[in-house]
Chains A and B, each alone.
Chain A
């Protein structure tokens, strides 16, 4: 029986050598800027994007619901899958240009949250942006995917606000003390 190995986080002597940034439509510039600010100059940087499979899936499903139409080549889900790959590549290229540093771009397919966790296995730092309710500080500022990733990340996580963070007074007041 083998015992669990020592924690991988931190790399050699705690130095950050391998940084993964999750690139998503809308919030990615903040992630790229955070990498520029916080990743050491000699770190390997991977920009990862995962198209949401539900988008092409919804189109596949809508076409399947058209009983009797035949002609599977007209299924718009096929076009959407190809378009999703192409637009993901374009997004990664744009992110790499904004980073203006050597980096690897990678597009993965599958369940978004699990693919990002898998990509950050062995990394020293994962950078992602909050993508929930961004008007208040609090747990709702994380969407379902980022919630899962933060909860399951096998490395250090840098969680950034896509724009300036809300003021601390957006936290709801504490509950009143229990009655004696």
Chain B
């Protein structure tokens, strides 16, 4: 197959995969289109078998890691961790929306960092809403804080976001070195988000609250908390002795899974569902299709646009480019495209890309223009959601957060070294 034909075919396949992932025709899982597309890319030679195998070998452990974290978060929810979080917030807020916002920031940041952004969006957000309702406070600042932090607070650990796991595999950084370099950008970005949200929602927060009834005290799931703590320690130890930290995540998930199975709180079927196998297949297939396109021209085309070096201006430009790409379609394909181009420039460049792809999606309420436009088309008949407010918030928060986070990353790289 000629290079031009391979490039055209890869581009068509990528558009098809991403288009179907956004549109989800007939509600089919995204993998239903993505996996055959990857098979076509391999069968037609658009990607060589060697490259496909190399991509699968690189993505395999990432996907396993991701599955373990998804299961861990789901089992923590079933152990009552998120309900306990709600009880704690309601008690500690003492009827003040300002204090509730502070607690939402702490919990959403920690949960996103440790149990990934999926956990914050799917499991924590409903709890935060329920807590704000119990306090009689306006829910908007707290729910918006969850959605923003699921992106912004996913900078800290490789497990916080799939984009980070992909970058970890590509950059050659260790788990602990990644966390050490990202802790300052993480804190700085969260700090900026707090200042922006607190000012932006000043009216809603000042409206006060009228707590209803007594606040219950749900039992603290000590076993789940201890397991998560040991898993975190396991990440560090595994990283220090040179074992893949995914094993620590597996161990943590396995401990909670066995306990839940023995107590008949879950079933093997539910565990497999929690691992989201179609999603894992989608990520693998997407990786192969993107690799085919990067091999045949996209790499050299975008290569000119990707700034070299790791000085402050280069880091800022990389982060901005990554945020822009993430906002066009989604941050997952954006990071898959940018990683092979930036990895040769060193860890600093890869981490700058992560700042862009992780913080950038806050600009639009659905994470990207493609998803946003599609939702506007299919939901035209539904009660109209005013996008203006979310977009205004994003337009203030994203540039400010990104700039401060890049400064913090540059400082970290200067002090610790890339």
List, in ascending order, chain A residues with CB within 8 A of B138's CB.
24-26, 52
Given contacts A68-B30, A83-B129, contact A61 B122 (CB under 8 A): no
Taken together as a complex, chains A and B put the C-alpha atoms of A61 and B370 apart, in Å, by 12
Give the nearest-CB partner of A98 in chain B: B210
Partner-B contacts on A (CB < 8 A): 24-29, 52-55, 57-72, 74, 76, 79-80, 83-84, 86-87, 90-91, 94, 109-111, 131-134, 143, 162
Our pick among A54, A68, A87 for the contact of B385 (Cβ within 8 Å) is: A54
Q: Which of A54, A86, A87, A94 has the most CB of B within 10 A?
A: A54
Give the nearest-CB partner of B133 in chain A: A87
List, in ascending order, chain B residues with CB within 8 A of A162's CB.
207-208
B120 to A: closest C-beta gap in Å: 9
> Residue B348 at the A interface, CB < 8 A?
no
Beyond A29-B210, A70-B279, A132-B203, list 6 extra A-B contacts (CB 8 Å): A26-B204, A27-B208, A53-B384, A53-B386, A70-B282, A94-B212
List, in ascending order, chain A residues with CB within 8 A of B130's CB.
83, 87
The answer to whether A58 and B129 have CB atoms under 8 Å apart is no
Give the nearest-CB partner of A113 in chain B: B386
Our pick among A54, A65, A84 for the contact of B386 (Cβ within 8 Å) is: A54
B95 to A: closest C-beta gap in Å: 11
Given contacts A59-B125, A63-B121, A67-B332, contact A24 B207 (CB under 8 A): yes
Q: Quick one: which of B139-182 are within 8 Å of A by CB? A: 139-140, 143-144, 146-147, 150
Taken together as a complex, chains A and B put the C-alpha atoms of A35 and B216 apart, in Å, by 33
Taken together as a complex, chains A and B put the C-alpha atoms of A86 and B134 apart, in Å, by 11
Sampled A-B contacts (25; CB under 8 Å): A27-B207, A29-B210, A54-B390, A57-B365, A58-B365, A61-B147, A61-B372, A62-B147, A62-B367, A64-B366, A64-B371, A65-B367, A67-B22, A67-B30, A67-B332, A67-B371, A68-B279, A70-B30, A70-B278, A70-B282, A72-B27, A76-B121, A110-B383, A111-B384, A131-B207
List, in ascending order, chain B residues with CB within 8 A of A143's CB.
203
Partner-A contacts on B (CB < 8 A): 21-22, 24, 27, 29-31, 34, 97, 117-118, 121-122, 125-126, 129-130, 133, 136-140, 143-144, 146-147, 150, 202-204, 206-210, 212, 276, 278-279, 282-283, 286, 330, 332-333, 361, 364-368, 371-372, 375, 383-386, 389-390
B365 to A: closest C-beta gap in Å: 4
B61 to A: closest C-beta gap in Å: 18
The answer to whether A65 and B29 have CB atoms under 8 Å apart is no
Given contacts A55-B140, A68-B279, A68-B332, contact A62 B121 (CB under 8 A): yes
List, in ascending order, chain B residues with CB within 8 A of A29's CB.
210
Taken together as a complex, chains A and B put the C-alpha atoms of A180 and B384 apart, in Å, by 53
B340 to A: closest C-beta gap in Å: 19
Our pick among A26, A66, A68 for the contact of B137 (Cβ within 8 Å) is: A26
List, in ascending order, chain A residues with CB within 8 A of B210's CB.
25-26, 28-29, 94
